[in-house]
Amino acid sequence: MPDATATTDGWFDVWAFLLFSHGWTWLWWSVPVLAGWHAFRFPGVVFLVVGGLGVTLGGVGMTWLVGGRRGLRELWRRLVDPGLVPSRWYLAVLFVWPALAVGGALLANVTGETRALSVEPLVELSVDPLALFATLLGIFLLGPLPEEIGWRGYWLDRLQRRWSALTASLVLGVAWAVWHAPLFVMVGYFSSWEFSPAPLPFAFNIVVAAVLYTWVYNNARRSVLAVVLFHFLQNATGQLLELSPRAESFQTILTVGFALAVIGWWGPRRLQRVEHADG
């Protein structure tokens, strides 16, 4: 059985995860990119899905290598136990991203935007419960669940052992953003969105969001379930509520402002106030 302490002081427990997660994903994603296959059509979708498991496999594999079966059991508990999360932190998990989106739309309206927010995607799906369920399930399985097992389920703790919570968040955020890079040159992925994101703003938003993920994670008693749901609400909000480009810009401004407030109030070292650590 792997020794739980043998690799915690070197480079292996941190950087082996990064090498595997990015190496696996980019290897698989390079095939549809080079072949010109559509991301959501066969056979390209197979490579898209399998490649996306790099973070999951890296998280599970590294958890076993450095923590053995005990580490896997702990990861599983943090993934499935809703009681681990203090009840008030479910409010942050559920409402931060919708509130930032609506806030961005309201600011756009104030500055003269006539159609800053559209709920048409949500309304169209609501009339077909099966389609709504399939969409929500797809959002859940193609990002939040597989990614958070690795990013926060494994890697964030290792980074926070070396650096402050803020620095760890920024390192993770950059790696997280770079991990997505092949999707910008994959046929049919971002081009299928009504408002396709530009790479640099996309990366910037991910890095800022990583600070909020650490904030939730640290205050939710290291719950992987909490950040999976937080990730799901971010992606679902983005897909089911359509914002105009101006509203998205205001949303970004609000998100940056909120992240700065979190850093200022909870502190950059832990992004967690001591008196809240056990509550």
271 phi/psi in degrees, rounded to 5: 50, 40
Residues paired with residue 243 on neighbouring β-strands, in sequence order: 117
> According to the model, what pLDDT value does residue 24 have?
98
Report in angstroms the alpha-carbon separations of 273 from 193, 235, 237: 39, 28, 28
What count of other Cβ atoms lies within 10 Å of the Cβ of residue 115?
Answer: 11
The secondary structure of 129-166 as a DSSP string is HHHHHHHHHHHHHTTHHHHHHHIIIIIHHHHHTTS-HH
Q: Hey, what are 8's tokens?
A: 């915690």
Q: Is residue 193 very low, low, confident or very high in pLDDT (cuts 50, 70, 90)?
A: low
Q: Where are the domains of the chain?
A: 87-276
> According to the model, what pLDDT value does residue 33 have?
97
pLDDT tens, 37-71?
Answer: 999 999 999 999 999 999 999 999 999 999 999 99
Q: How far is CA 88 from the centre of its chain?
A: 21
Q: Is the pLDDT of residue 276 over 90?
A: no
Rounded CA gap, 73 and 80, in Å? 11
Q: Which of 246, 141, 138, 232 is nearest to 192 (CA)?
A: 138
- Residue 16's contacts (CB-CB under 8 Å, 6 or more residues apart) are 62, 65
Residues paired with residue 242 on neighbouring β-strands, in sequence order: 118
Lowest mean pLDDT among 3-17, 29-43, 44-58, 128-142: 3-17
Taken in order 207, 213, 219, 223, the sign of the CA dihedral is: negative
> According to the model, what pLDDT value does residue 197 have?
84
> According to the model, what pLDDT value does residue 4 have?
39
